Structure 1
């Protein structure tokens, strides 16, 4: 189903993720990108629609919301968020810091639970680790840089087929060969 991006929900989600991640020393702009991605795509998988409905693009470091930069800039201008730059190992971390409390009434109870579980799942992961993890996502792997990643790609598995599935595939392959051979007569 077609979903329209909800910039207000994105703003509140950024604030909420930033609040939940205040004590995570690895939380910065890259990790925020990935937490937004996982939250929206897992919501689509679980509930049939994303939380923010934002478009995510395939970038070299993994999926990211297309409109994140302008939204962050508008939040800084409005006094909702600030960004603190600090050294993190050999990299500079740009850490989003909420100035106001997120309006959780924008989210359903199950959405709030999902958001919390995503933050917990990736707690203490650094930017490189969570970026690498996002590279296993088939939607990102198949995407062209800058192209929108369809939410529906979260529904495509990339696990190895079971032995039963392989047998079924071989049987269908044989059936297809016979059917195609018969159509050329």
Structure 2
């Protein structure tokens, strides 16, 4: 960005600052451009969003307030409009729509939203709503009962996926997303289609995609946690996840024998299993494309070396710790 005062290029500065929101104080990595000649500081709309999203994310985490994607998911599983969900919960007519767009709910409203994620609680709220047409109420209650029954039938599969990715709530170690097994699967399919990488490279591609997305928006793509191991950052529990995806025919993993006696597991896309772009936003797709393009010609050994230059790995590898997404702001190899 050029200085509006001198016309010279300005340096992007990142420093820790405290910011207040709803009588709470949070420490963030504050971004701004600095004009070296005048000493003035400037921001852009996108940088303002990064700064404020850090504050909002910490506030949601502290008070257990659902994130917009979770608020949307809860409504959509009942097949409701935002206005109708607002009516059922007793909010203002546009409140639920505004919460989906990013406005922060009160703690009380947040608890109501989380409560109706459970179909039985949703039915209780339906029974209390006196403004709904009886036919509509009956249809929605039946829908909720079916969801409750489906949950019981699929409990093993749901619990196994939770075991693979973790059932933790959104926080700084998940990129402020709840783990999304479907999106993570599609990320693996995407890189398998584009690059056919070996397993170690696949782990790095996934890391760079999630962390680059967080650097740009303060949200990861998949909600997956990453650990620092000797070979660089990897998704937590990656061995079991990849084995599950192969067993479910989401991708093929082929073992290749090398002349030096080593073997490698290479990811190959299945002809009948195409990448589903509909699960992703435009910026998420652009992020996947950038990672694939940047590392297209990078071999496994080189991407390991590059990942070892990242603070995310250097600050966590000795203790093999889960990596905070805050290190995304220090990415330097993409």
The bucket for the TM-score relative to the shorter chain is: 0.7 to 0.9
| SS of alignment partner, residue 49 of structure 1 | coil
User: Deviations along 1:111-164, whole A, 9 cap, x unmatched?
Assistant: 111111111101121111000000111121010443100001122478xxxxxx
Q: CA deviation at 1:108?
A: 0.8
Q: CA deviation at 1:78?
A: 1.2
- Give the 5 Å matches for 1:15-54: 15-22=189-196, 27-54=197-224
Any gaps of 5 or more consecutive residues in structure 2? 1-56, 58-170
Given that 1:33 and 1:63 are in contact with CA atoms closer than 8 Å, whether structure 2 keeps it comes out as yes
TM-score computed with the length of structure 2 as normaliser: 0.44
| SS of alignment partner, residue 123 of structure 1 | coil
Structure 1 pair 48–96 and aligned structure 2 pair: CA distance change class (3 A) = same
User: Deviations along 1:57-82, whole A, 9 cap, x unmatched?
Assistant: 00001000003222212211211111
| SS of alignment partner, residue 42 of structure 1 | helix
Q: CA deviation at 1:5?
A: 1.7
- Give the 5 Å matches for 1:85-124: 85-88=255-258, 90=260, 91-99=262-270, 100-124=273-297
What RMSD over aligned residues (CA atoms) do the two structures have, in Å? 1.7
Higher mean Cα deviation, 93-102 or 37-46? 93-102
| SS of alignment partner, residue 111 of structure 1 | helix
- Give the 5 Å matches for 1:78-89: 78-88=248-258
Tell which structure's C-alpha radius of gyration is larger: 2
Distance 1:85 1:156 in 2: 35
Q: Which has the higher contact order (CA 8 A, sep 6+)?
A: 1
Given that 1:7 and 1:71 are in contact with CA atoms closer than 8 Å, whether structure 2 keeps it comes out as no
Distance 1:56 1:157 in 2: 15
Distance 1:119 1:81 in 2: 17
Aligned counterpart for 1:73 among listed residues 231, 235, 243: 243
| SS of alignment partner, residue 326 of structure 2 | helix
Aligned residues: 154
User: Deviations along 1:31-73, whole A, 9 cap, x unmatched?
Assistant: 1000000000000001211111100000001000003222212
Structure 1 pair 125–89 and aligned structure 2 pair: CA distance change class (3 A) = farther
Structure 1 pair 12–121 and aligned structure 2 pair: CA distance change class (3 A) = same
